[in-house]
Structures are given as structure tokens and as C-alpha cells.
Amino acid sequence: MRTVAQKLNIPLPKASFSSPAEAKEAKLRTVLLDVHERACAFFQECLRRPEGARAREYLAGRGLDEETIRRFRIGFAPDSGFLLRDRLKGEFDEAVLRESGLFSWKEASSQPSAVSRQVNSKSLDSPRHSANEAAELARDDNGGVEQQIPPFGRNDKGGSAEDSTAINMYSKFRNRVMFPIASEAGKVIAFTGRTLSTDEKAVPKYLNSPETAIYSKSKVLFNLDHAKEAIRKLDYAILVEGQMDCISVLLRDFRT
């Protein structure tokens, strides 16, 4: 009902919830939309900075002009694993950031390894970290993979997030061209990141947001928020595989 009302610009009465859990989930969805809007603006800002030059070159090489980049709100995720986190942590709780799908983390052990001490001794406000540091952040002190996200507000041992050991949180998307994924209502709910690494075998070429309280991959089509009116008018839709395929079709004046 809410989605239909938004499409028709019909105001809804104040929401009421059947349980505290339902109210909490609704509040989380609202906050996550705000997190993703802030993240999208951050990625757009990074694309305009000097460190976004490689990303701008890539986009120009794919035939995208500035107007198209602005229309799709394409951005750049810098190499640093900390800049986005530091931008958002003053506005949002750590538990919310973990639920956003934008971050990974590892728990700091009581006796941090030499690598952990070395990384933590560096300023988190540094505008750039090396590729080796970024890769190290994606692994735990025992050489394992990053930890899975625990349930909202709780750690993996059943305690509250506040009771857990120190968390080293870092950006999931690094050194990537960022394509925001919007809901049919035009709200940013997820991202796809295309790596700019010269060694594409070392990292996934494309990295997608995980499913969250606001994003379910099977229920979302990229660019539907822009194309829906043309689809209604022409009564057909063109489906393609990826974001660049979709944008390329649009640049050839196919609006559906």
C-alpha cells in the first residue's frame, strides 16, 4: 500500500505498528535509506576529486559523458577502507552501519597481531591506504575470511553489540566505480561496484551489496525508476544483464 501511495503521491496517515519489533524494523529501513543516500553523495564527491581520475577515465572510455554520470549518480569508492566509515559514523550508530551492507569488519583480539598493531597505529583519517593494507583488512588475524554480519544489535555470541570486543570496521567497496541501485520510488537501496584493479583475478570484477532490510535483489530492476513511465506508455520493456548494458541502451535512445 505504501508503495502504491508513493507512486500516486497520496499522503498516508501516520503509521501504526502491530508490535515493537515491527516498529523497530520500519525505523531501521528509514535510517538505512538515509545511510545509502549519504553514501551515494560521498561516492559522487570522490569521483570529482583527484583520486577519482582513473574512474573518470574508465567512464569516458565507456562512452559516458558528465550528464549521464550525473543522471545515474555514478561515483567512485576510494582505496581507503576508512573514509566512508569516518564520514558516516558521526551520524549513524555502528549497529546501523553494520546492517547497511556497506561495511565488513573483524573483531580485534585481546592480543592484536603485529599487522593489526601496524594498521591501527596509522591515522584513520589518512586519505589513502595501500592496496596491501586494504587486502589485509579483508582478512582476520588468522588468515581467514571476513566475518559474517551478526543480527541487528547483537554479536555472534548472543550478546549486545556494545558488549562485543572492539570492531575494526572497513568499507566493503574499495577502488571501484560505483553504480547506485534505486527502488522504483527512486531511493538508493544498494550498489554495484566495478573494480579498477589492474589484477581483476585478485578481486571480483563486480561486487554487489548483500541483501538488507531495504534491498532484495530478486525484487529490484536497475533503472526501473527512470524507465517506468516509458514502459507504461510503450507497453514493452527491454531487459539487459548489467548496469553498463542498460546505460548503453539508454544512450541509443531506448528509454524502456
Q: Which of 17-31, 138-152, 203-217 tops mean pLDDT? A: 203-217
Euclidean distance between CA atoms 242 and 180, whole angstroms: 12
Euclidean distance between CA atoms 33 and 26, whole angstroms: 11
pTM of the model: 0.72
Q: Which residue has the cell 499522503?
A: 11
Q: What is the mean pLDDT of residues 40-56?
A: 98
The residue that leads in pLDDT, 149 or 231, is 231
Among 72, 73, 75, smallest CA distance to 251 is for: 72
Q: Model confidence over 146-199: pLDDT tens digits?
A: 444 344 444 444 444 444 434 689 999 999 999 999 999 999 999 999 999 988
Residue 38 near residue 88 (C-beta atoms within 8 A): yes
